[in-house]
């Protein structure tokens, strides 16, 4: 008998080796694997967030239950009772990519469910090899998810692998809403342009480097404000008075209908372009005495005023988003710095970082912004872990502080409520509409556009192929629950005992569940009032697992300035991208990941495109040690043509373009 069993085992192993994915799935279902009795084992981490409670301070729930270190977080305990199943967090690594690397060596047999942030590509890749179940085969066991896919065919397409399988359920961010927005210190614009305060004597100057964009054949108006400022700079040296007076005269002549100059930039009347923004940045850069006194009440000696900055150096790629405002050059096809492929107006996949328009025309302009001191100086230094938002927006009250920022591109709730310490928050930061731009062949005239929108994220979870029998049914029930009304509400807003009887009315008059007093009090005590942080780190909901996120939670933790920003952008009908078929592929989002066949993977292994060239791009912008020619050579030696061809082939497999 033993001999027969071992023969069967070796026969199955041979089938796996020779037959690949289909046989691996079949054998896994026959033998069940080691985890098909007892608890559902979960190996999951997202940004150091686990299913288990990892804090030293216990948390007392509304019913008196005390959550302590090592327990499942309250949300997942609630799910266990609701679905009559048991969960066990077996995660040992602190990063999701570490989980994938470690577990791939053992065949993903140590847990039933794997997941986390930025793992979708790995889950899909290993899924096509047979290590994760094709959930598309089990949609009848997940009726709510099945209905969701039937209503959202574009999302189904985006998560389908080249072989037609669905190997992970993604975290679907708030589709249809902006991911981030332009935000600035509103009072600075009025103080400088409308004369609401007395201007201090300014001695700082800058050497003009930016030539302007909307001039010559691109001219938007009869005069160009950057050209006028450059003409007012003897020997290329621009001072505060010349920069300000030139801008004010330009606004008066070009926009005579404005009641006051600041209306060119602020509120619903905003109609500035990238040149007019750069002209304002110059004035701001040259006014450290005036602006530091406005912020602190007294002139700050040696004040450093930064017109434009990013939250962290790891967000350095956001500078390239300004390319959108030089005749509509696209940069990111999805809400990820890795998503450098986008669809052009003809529906052809393009790799933005290597395009001629970016390299030849736009990078020199961004370099000139940096040369004039309009961009934060250390934004490309990846070794720096500073939170520049806290420095440039949140340091106003600190003794000896001398760094102040004007404008950034970031998430609305957190940026409009940056802490100043002592229980105070920044009360001057609010939304400003994006610069007007042209998108030739796509939209008529000058339009407002932001390509950064909420998308299907590269996060989620999958079921290991070793899972079968009753355990598989439980896993499928768990996955499906997040697409029920009850499960979706709980994953978005928490359990019933932390939701108020009243509703929260969000933008557009939409009613959402409202967090109750207990939640808000505990959030204040455990996470300084950051509701999202409290929900994920302490309670366990709002995780980047397979579900669709609602904007209602984020909006109710937004300051009044954030609410005004939402309203401003929605009323202005700012254009953005979506998964829906639109009048132009230009506005279409690409899938969060590309499913690569073994042949395409082999083709890509012979290329070298990525961080090397990106580092060179930022070196070009910030130093004089790298040239455009060297960047081109790096792309050529990295076989950029083969790289693009492989991804175009991969996209064609799932988009019906074959």
Residues 145 and 211 in one domain: no
pLDDT (mean) for 359-370: 98
Does residue 121 sit in helix, strand or coil?
A: helix
- pLDDT for position 22: 52
> Do 492 and 550 touch, CB atoms closer than 8 A?
yes
Residues 251 and 381 in one domain: yes
More confident: 33 or 280: 280
pLDDT in tens, 284-294: 999 999 999 99
- Cα–Cα distance between 232 and 246 in angstroms, integer? 8
- Cα–Cα distance between 275 and 438 in angstroms, integer? 13
> Do 601 and 619 touch, CB atoms closer than 8 A?
no
Tell me what percent of the residues of the chain surpass a pLDDT of 70: 94
Residues 247 and 143 in one domain: no
**Nearest 5°: phi and psi at 251?**
-60, -45
Could you tell me if residue 266 is inside a domain?
A: yes
- pLDDT for position 422: 73
- pLDDT for position 17: 39
DSSP 265-281: TSGGG---BHHHHHHHH
Could you tell me if residue 556 is inside a domain?
A: no
Tokens representing 178? 């902006």
Residues 530 and 630 in one domain: no
C-alpha distances (whole Å) from 444 to each of 118, 436, 585 are 37, 12, 16
Count of C-beta atoms within a 10 Å radius of residue 313: 18
What is the domain range of residue 8? 1-31
Could you tell me if residue 575 is inside a domain?
A: no
Count of C-beta atoms within a 10 Å radius of residue 92: 11
pLDDT (mean) for 551-579: 92
Length of the chain: 658
pLDDT in tens, 142-153: 999 999 999 998
Residues 338 and 435 in one domain: yes
Tokens representing 450? 């932001």
Q: How much is the pTM? A: 0.90
Tell which residue, 520, 529, 336, 538, has the closest CA to residue 414: 529
Residues 115 and 195 in one domain: no
- pLDDT for position 70: 95
Classify burial at 170, counting beta carbons within 10 Å of its beta carbon; exposed 0-12, middle 13-18, buried 19 or more: buried
Q: How confident is the model at residue 355 (pLDDT cuts 50, 70, 90)?
A: very high
> Do 465 and 132 touch, CB atoms closer than 8 A?
yes
pLDDT in tens, 437-479: 999 999 999 999 999 999 999 999 999 999 999 999 999 999 9
DSSP 27-82: HHHHH--TTSSSSEEEEEEBTTB-SB---SS-EE-TTS-EE-TTSBPHHHHHHHHH
Cα dihedral 275, 277, 278, 283 sign: positive
Q: What is the mean pLDDT of the chain?
A: 92
Classify burial at 67, counting beta carbons within 10 Å of its beta carbon; exposed 0-12, middle 13-18, buried 19 or more: buried
pLDDT in tens, 301-327: 999 999 999 999 999 999 999 999 999
- pLDDT for position 655: 79
Tokens 């679907």 correspond to 172
- Cα–Cα distance between 193 and 225 in angstroms, integer? 15
The answer to whether residue 223 scores a pLDDT higher than 90 is yes
Please tell me the least confidently modeled range out of 137-146, 246-255, 382-391, 426-435: 382-391
Does residue 171 sit in helix, strand or coil?
A: strand
- Cα–Cα distance between 323 and 365 in angstroms, integer? 9
The number of CA neighbours under 13 Å toward the Cβ of 306 is: 21
Does residue 4 sit in helix, strand or coil?
A: helix
Residues 149 and 204 in one domain: no
The answer to whether residue 390 scores a pLDDT higher than 90 is yes
Bridge partners, 239 (sequence order):
205
Residue ranges with strand state E in 148-220: 169-172, 181-185, 205-207
Could you tell me if residue 555 is inside a domain?
A: no
Q: How confident is the model at residue 9 (pLDDT cuts 50, 70, 90)?
A: very low
- pLDDT for position 581: 66
Could you tell me if residue 334 is inside a domain?
A: yes
> Do 586 and 330 touch, CB atoms closer than 8 A?
yes
Provide, for the chain, the percentages of residues in helix, strand and coil under a 3-state DSSP scheme, each rounded to the nearest 5: 45, 15, 40
- Cα–Cα distance between 579 and 591 in angstroms, integer? 9
Cα dihedral 329, 334, 338, 341 sign: negative
Tell me what percent of the residues of the chain surpass a pLDDT of 90: 82
> Do 260 and 194 touch, CB atoms closer than 8 A?
yes
The answer to whether residue 8 scores a pLDDT higher than 50 is no
Query: How many domains is the chain partitioned into structurally?
Result: 4
Could you tell me if residue 282 is inside a domain?
A: yes
Q: What is the CATH number of the domain that holds 101?
A: 3.40.190.10
Residues 533 and 614 in one domain: no
Residues 274 and 409 in one domain: yes
Residues 419 and 340 in one domain: yes
More confident: 401 or 4: 401
Tokens 């942080």 correspond to 533
CB neighbour burial string for 330-348, b if at least 16 within 10 angstroms, e if fewer: bbbbbbbeebbbbbbbeee
pLDDT in tens, 103-152: 999 999 999 999 999 999 999 999 999 999 999 999 999 999 999 999 99
Tokens representing 114? 């794997």
> Do 412 and 562 touch, CB atoms closer than 8 A?
yes
Tokens 């701001």 correspond to 284
Q: How far is CA 574 from the centre of its chain?
A: 18
Residues 436 and 503 in one domain: no
Count of C-beta atoms within a 10 Å radius of residue 512: 20
Could you tell me if residue 82 is inside a domain?
A: yes
Residues 65 and 209 in one domain: no
Tell which residue, 102, 199, 44, has the closest CA to residue 536: 44
Of 521, 549, 577, the last residue of a domain is 549
The answer to whether residue 3 scores a pLDDT higher than 50 is no
C-alpha distances (whole Å) from 31 to each of 36, 43, 113, 465, 476 are 10, 21, 18, 11, 19
- Cα–Cα distance between 500 and 510 in angstroms, integer? 16
Of 448, 471, 491, the last residue of a domain is 448
Could you tell me if residue 579 is inside a domain?
A: no
- pLDDT for position 579: 87
- pLDDT for position 529: 82
Kindly state the DSSP code that residue 321 receives in the 8-state scheme.
Answer: G
pLDDT (mean) for 205-225: 96
Of 420, 448, 476, the last residue of a domain is 448
SS3 for 507-534 is: HHHCEEEEECHHHHHHHHHHHCCCHHHH
The answer to whether residue 2 scores a pLDDT higher than 60 is no
Kindly state the DSSP code that residue 361 receives in the 8-state scheme.
Answer: I
The answer to whether residue 196 scores a pLDDT higher than 70 is yes
C-alpha distances (whole Å) from 191 to each of 185, 244, 406 are 11, 12, 13
- Cα–Cα distance between 124 and 655 in angstroms, integer? 16
């Amino acid at each position: 008998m033993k001999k027969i069993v071992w023969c069967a085992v070796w026969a199955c192993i041979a089938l796996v080796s020779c037959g690949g994915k289909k046989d691996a799935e079949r054998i896994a279902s026959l033998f069940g694997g080691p985890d098909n009795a007892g608890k559902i084992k979960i190996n999951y981490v997202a940004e150091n967030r686990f299913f288990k409670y990892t804090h030293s301070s216990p948390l007392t729930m509304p019913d008196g239950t005390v959550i302590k270190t090592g327990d499942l977080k309250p949300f997942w305990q609630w799910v266990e009772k609701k679905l009559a199943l048991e969960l066990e967090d077996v995660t040992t690594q602190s990063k999701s990519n570490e989980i994938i690397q470690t577990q791939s060596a053992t065949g993903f047999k140590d847990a039933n469910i794997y997941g986390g942030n930025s793992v979708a590509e790995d889950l899909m890749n290993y899924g096509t090899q047979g290590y994760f179940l094709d959930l598309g085969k089990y949609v009848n066991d997940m009726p709510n998810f099945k209905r969701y896919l039937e209503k959202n065919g574009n999302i189904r397409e985006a998560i389908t692998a080249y072989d037609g399988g669905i190997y992970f359920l993604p975290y679907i961010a708030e589709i249809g809403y902006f991911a981030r927005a332009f935000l600035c210190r509103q009072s600075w614009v009025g103080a400088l342009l409308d004369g609401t305060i007395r201007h201090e004597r300014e001695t700082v100057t800058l050497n003009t480097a930016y030539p302007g964009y909307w001039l010559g054949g691109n001219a938007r108006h009869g005069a160009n404000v950057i050209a006028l400022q450059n003409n007012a700079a003897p020997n290329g040296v621009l001072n505060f008075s010349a920069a300000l007076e030139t801008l004010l005269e330009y606004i008066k002549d070009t926009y005579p209908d404005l009641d006051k100059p600041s209306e060119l930039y602020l509120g619903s009347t905003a109609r500035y372009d990238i040149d007019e923004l750069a002209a304002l940045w110059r004035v701001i850069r040259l006014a450290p005495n005036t602006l530091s006194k406005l912020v602190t009440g007294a002139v700050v000696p040696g004040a450093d005023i930064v017109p434009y900055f990013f939250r962290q150096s790891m967000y350095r790629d956001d500078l390239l988003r300004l390319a959108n405002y030089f005749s509509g050059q696209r940069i990111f096809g999805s809400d990820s710095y890795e998503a450098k492929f986008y669809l052009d107006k003809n529906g052809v996949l393009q790799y933005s970082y290597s395009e001629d328009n970016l390299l030849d025309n736009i990078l020199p302009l961004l370099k000139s912004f940096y040369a004039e001191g309009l961009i934060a100086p250390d934004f490309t230094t990846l070794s720096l872990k500073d939170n520049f938002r806290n420095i440039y927006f949140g340091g106003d009250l600190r003794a000896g502080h001398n760094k102040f920022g004007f404008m950034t591109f970031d998430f609305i709730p957190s940026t409009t409520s940056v802490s100043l310490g002592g229980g105070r928050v920044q009360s001057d930061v609010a939304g400003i509409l994006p610069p007007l731009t042209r998108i030739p062949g796509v939209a008529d005239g000058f339009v407002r556009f932001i390509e950064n929108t909420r998308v299907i994220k590269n996060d989620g979870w999958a079921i290991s192929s070793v899972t079968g029998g009753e355990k598989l049914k439980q896993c499928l029930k768990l996955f499906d629950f997040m697409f029920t009304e009850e499960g979706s509400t709980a994953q978005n807003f928490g359990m019933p005992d932390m939701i108020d009887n009243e509703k929260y009315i969000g933008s557009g008059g939409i009613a959402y569940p409202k967090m109750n007093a207990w939640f808000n009090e505990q959030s204040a005590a455990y996470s300084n009032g950051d509701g999202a942080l409290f929900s994920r780190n302490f309670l366990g909901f709002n995780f980047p697992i397979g579900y669709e996120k609602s904007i209602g939670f984020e909006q109710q933790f937004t300051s009044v300035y954030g609410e005004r920003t939402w309203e401003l952008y929605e009323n202005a009908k700012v254009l953005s991208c979506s998964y829906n078929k639109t009048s132009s592929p230009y506005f279409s989002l690409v899938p969060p990941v590309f499913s690569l066949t073994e042949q395409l993977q082999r083709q890509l292994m012979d290329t070298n495109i990525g961080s090397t060239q990106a580092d060179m791009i930022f070196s070009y912008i910030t130093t004089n040690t790298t040239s455009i020619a060297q960047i081109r050579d790096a792309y050529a030696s990295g076989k950029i043509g083969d790289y693009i061809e492989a991804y175009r082939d991969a996209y064609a497999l799932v988009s019906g373009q074959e």
